[in-house]
Amino acid sequence: MIQNILTAKDLCKSFAHNGGQVHVLQHIDLEIREKDFTVVMGASGSGKSTLLYALSGMDKATSGQVLFDGKDLVKMKEKELADLRSHDFGFIFQQMHLVSNLTLLENVTVPGYLSHRKTSSEVKKRAEDLLAKMGVSDVMDHRPSQVSGGEQQRCAIARSIIHEPKLLFADEPTGALNRKNTTEVLDLMTDLNRQGQSILMVTHDLRAALRGNRLLYLEDGNVIGELSLPPYEKEEEKSRETQVNAWLSSMKW
Partner 1 sequence: MDILTLLRANIRRKKGTFLGIMFLMILVSSLLTMLFSIKKNVTKSIDDAFIEAKVADVFVDVDSRKVTDDMLASLESHPLVERVRTASALLMDKHYFKGKEDNQSWLIVPLNSVVTRKFTDDFTAYEDSVPVPSENGMYVPQGVATKSGCKVGDEIRFVTRGGEYTLTIEGFIVEPICGSAMIGWKTVFVAPETFEKLVAESDAVDDDTMGRVTVIYLDKKADCGLSDSAFAKRINLDTGVQNYAYSSETKTQMKYYTNLFSEITCSVMIVFAIILAAVVVIIMAHNIAVTIEENYTELGILKAQGFTKGRIRLLYALMYILAQLLGSVIGTILAIPLVWKFGNIFQTVVGIIAPKTIDFSSSIPVLLLIILVSCLMVLLATRRIGKVSPVKALTGERRDVYFDSLLTLPVSGNGLSMSLAYRQFSSNKRRYFVAIIICAVLMFFMLTVNLMGTSMRSKSAMEAMGEIFTEVVVRPKEGIFTEEQMEGMDRIAKETAEVDKTYFYRNEYVTIEESTIMCSFVKNPENIKIVSGRAPLYDNEIVITEILEEELGRSIGDKVTVSRRDDSAEYIITGIFASMSDTGRVFSMGWDAGKKLGVTGFAWYGISLKDDSDADKVGAALEAEYGDAVQVTVNTDFLDEETEMIRLAVDIMRYMIYVFSVIFVLVVVSMICSRVFAQERRDLGIYKAIGFTSGKLRLLFALRFFLVAIIGSAIGAVLSLLFSFKVLNRMLRSMGVTNFVAPYTTETVVIPVVLLVAGFFLFAYLVSRKVKKVEIRELVIE
Q: How far does CA 5 lie from the centroid of its chain? A: 14
Helices (H), the chain: 48-56, 78-87, 104-115, 120-133, 149-161, 179-194, 206-209, 237-250
Taking the complex as a whole, the smallest distance from the CB of residue 200 to partner 1 amounts, in Å, to 14
Q: Please identify, using beta-carbon distances, which residue of 221 and 232 lies nearer to partner 1.
A: 221
173 binds partner 1 (CB under 8 A): no
- Asked whether position 204 contacts partner 1 by CB under 8 A, the answer is no
Give 42: exposed, middle or buried? Use CB within 10 Å, 0-12, 13-18, 19+: buried
Question: Given the rule CB under 8 A, which of 9-17, 35-43, 45-53, 184-192 is the region that contacts partner 1?
Answer: 45-53
Query: What is the rounded CA–CA span in Å between residue 244 and residue 27?
Result: 26
The reply to whether 100 sits near partner 1 by the rule CB under 8 A is yes
| 106 is a contact residue toward partner 1 (CB under 8 A) | yes
User: Which neighbouring-strand residues pair with 215?
Assistant: 39, 227
**Does 82 contact partner 1 by CB under 8 A?**
yes
| Cα 146 to Cα 142: distance, rounded to the nearest angstrom | 6
Q: How far apart are CA 69 and CA 54, in angstroms?
A: 16
Nearer to partner 1, 44 or 249 (CB): 44
Q: Residue 116's CB: how many other CB atoms inside 10 A?
A: 11
* Between 115 and 153, CB nearer to partner 1: 115
Interface region with partner 1, contact rule CB under 8 A, candidates 5-13, 82-90, 217-225, 233-241: 82-90
Asked if 17 interacts with partner 1 (CB under 8 A), we say no
Q: Measure the CA–CA gap between 231 and 150, rounded to whole angstroms.
A: 25
Q: Please report, as residue ranges, which positions from 142 to 161 form the binding site for partner 1 (by CB under 8 A).
A: 143, 145, 159
79 touches partner 1 (CB under 8 A): yes
| Residue 111 binds to partner 1 (criterion: CB under 8 A) | yes
Query: Can you tell me which of 6, 32, 123, 147 binds partner 1, judged by CB under 8 A?
Result: 123
Element (DSSP H or E) covering residue 22: strand 20-33
Interface residues with partner 1 (CB under 8 A) are 44, 49, 52-53, 58-59, 78-79, 82-87, 91, 93-95, 97-102, 106, 109-115, 119-120, 123-124, 143, 145, 159, 171-172, 175
